[in-house]
Structure 1
Amino acid sequence: MTAELDRTRPIWRQVAATITDRIADGTYPVGSRVPSVVELSTEFGVAASTAQKVLAHLKTEGLIRAEVGLGSFVTERPADTD
């Protein structure tokens, strides 16, 4: 399945937003593996470098953690305190 992307906006941001939404809605629950560079490239029809940028951004945002040789996994988010 290739997602429809708006080619007038940064593609990596759109892919990152999609993965972020999937984490938020439970498609990728805490502790689950998120798609690899190859899987993101295939699903969204983007270059490997774009997929790498997506995963790097999600890691910087604290949404995922990378484990060498295993992949990237959803991290537990701290509860919002109001």
Structure 2
Amino acid sequence: MSVDLDRTRPVWRQVAAIVAERIADGTYPAGARVPSVVELSTEFSIAASTVQKVFAHLKAEGLIRTEVGLGSFVADQPPVAEG
């Protein structure tokens, strides 16, 4: 799947919003593994460092948790989306 990103806005914020929406709509259910840095960088045609920024933001928001050597996973109780 190819997603067109608006290159005039911070790309990491756009990707973070897309991943957060996928968590909210159940594409990535609670406890499920989130695609890796390599997978997301390939999907969105962005640098791995940009995906790292996305993951840091999602972790700070409580949407994902990381396990060293295993990857990133949707938080067991992700915050409920408002609106």
Q: Same fold (TM over 0.5)?
A: yes
Structure 1 runs (4+) greater than 6 angstroms displaced: none
CA distance 1:57–1:79, shift in 2 (3 Å): closer
Percent identity of paired positions between Structure 1 and Structure 2:
74
Contact 2:28 2:74 in 1 (8 A): yes
Residue 77 (structure 1) aligns with: 78
Residue 24 (structure 2) aligns with: 24
Aligned length: 80
Compute the displacement of 1:44 (Å).
0.2
CA distance 1:50–1:17, shift in 2 (3 Å): same
Normalising by structure 1, report the TM-score. 0.92
Q: 2:11 matched to 1:15?
A: no
CA distance 1:45–1:52, shift in 2 (3 Å): same
Structure 1: give runs of 5+ residues left out of the alignment.
Answer: none
1:29-82 Cα shifts (integer Å, max 9, x gaps): 0000001110110000000100100011100100000001110000113569xx
Q: Larger C-alpha radius of gyration, 1 or 2? A: 1
Structure 2: give runs of 5+ residues left out of the alignment.
Answer: none
For structure 1, which segment, 2-11 or 70-79, has the greater mean C-alpha deviation from structure 2 after superposition? 70-79
**In 1: Cα distance, 2:78 partner to 2:7 partner:** 31
**In 1: Cα distance, 2:63 partner to 2:78 partner:** 7
Q: CA RMSD in A?
A: 1.4
| SS in structure 1 of the partner of residue 73 of structure 2 | strand
**In 1: Cα distance, 2:79 partner to 2:42 partner:** 32
